[in-house]
Amino acid sequence: MTQAQQTKREQIVRCFRKLYEQGTINLYEGNFSARDGENVLMTPSQQNKETMTPEMLVVLDAAGNVLSSNGLRPSSEARMHLEIYRLRPDLGAVVHTHSAFASAFALAGMPIRSESAELHLFYGGEIPCCAYGEPGTDAVFAEFERYFLRERKDAVLLANHGLVAAGRGVEEAFSRAEAVEKLAKTALLARLLGGERPLPDGASEALIGRWRGDGSI
């Protein structure tokens, strides 16, 4: 194992543990993965995040075959992660959480929409909500081609379930999961305060244009 591979393993475990410490996931829920060359490093199923080590990560090939596991099983959501990598070669890490505010939108079957400049600039104006699919089955990612590929989203809600976020690397995927949870929370709090102040005329289009790459951030 190279030093770079070891570092990536350590990043996954560190960020996964941070999500637990933040209350974004419980002790045994959620999953995290990252590309490792042609293969994928995947968090193991039902393992305590406080005692998880880099050596416990499971190595899968692109088809989902286990190449190395130390006797552990990969997350039951591994195929969901692999589908994102198949659709988006530019993405190098994926995280799935059950964070409270994002999951509240998912339970309601609602995309996260708000007048937040950040939501427009970094997420194209909304975090969409996929139709329900039974956890651990291919139905979970039935709409990923639409959202991750055609609409170039990097984060989606899973109806009645939770959040999936992806990034070019481990820390970016972690950061996006954090950011989406905060956007969901602030959207709900603003509504409790009586509603959101609309962006100025033309601001939404300008920000989304920059997200699409029409301008610079």
Which pLDDT tens digit goes with each residue over 41-56?
A: 999 999 999 999 999 9
Phi/psi at 171 (5° precision)? -70, -35
* Separation between Cα atoms, residue 105 and residue 113, nearest integer Å: 10
Nearest-angstrom CA–CA distance, 51 and 27: 10
Asked if the model's pLDDT at residue 208 lies above 80, the reply is yes
Tell me the per-residue pLDDT of 112-147, one tens digit each, with 9 for 90 and over. Answer: 999 999 999 999 999 999 999 999 999 999 999 999
Instruction: Compute the distance between CA of residue 144 and CA of residue 146 in angstroms, rounded to an integer.
Output: 5
Q: Where are the alpha helices (DSSP H) in the chain?
A: 3-21, 78-87, 100-108, 117-123, 144, 170-192, 203-212
126 is catalytic: no
Interior/surface letters 47-71, b for 16+ CB within 10 angstroms, e for the rest: bebeebebebbbbbeeeeeeeeeee
- Identify the CATH class of 3-212: alpha beta
Angle in degrees, 0-180, between the axes of helices 3-21 and 170-192, rounded to the nearest 10: 20
165 touches 94 (CB < 8 A): yes
Among candidate residues 77, 83, 126, 178, the one labeled active-site is 77
Q: What is the mean pLDDT of residues 158-183?
A: 97
Residue 215 confidence class, pLDDT cut points 50, 70, 90: very low
Task: State residue 25's pLDDT score.
Answer: 93
Q: Would you list the domain boundaries of the chain?
A: 3-212
Closest CA to 107 of 176, 180, 163, 145: 163
Q: What is the mean pLDDT of the chain?
A: 95
Residue-level pLDDT at 5: 86
Give the other-Cβ count within 10 Å of 145's Cβ: 13
Percent of the chain at pLDDT above 70? 98
Look up the pTM and report it.
0.94
End-to-end CA distance of the chain: 37
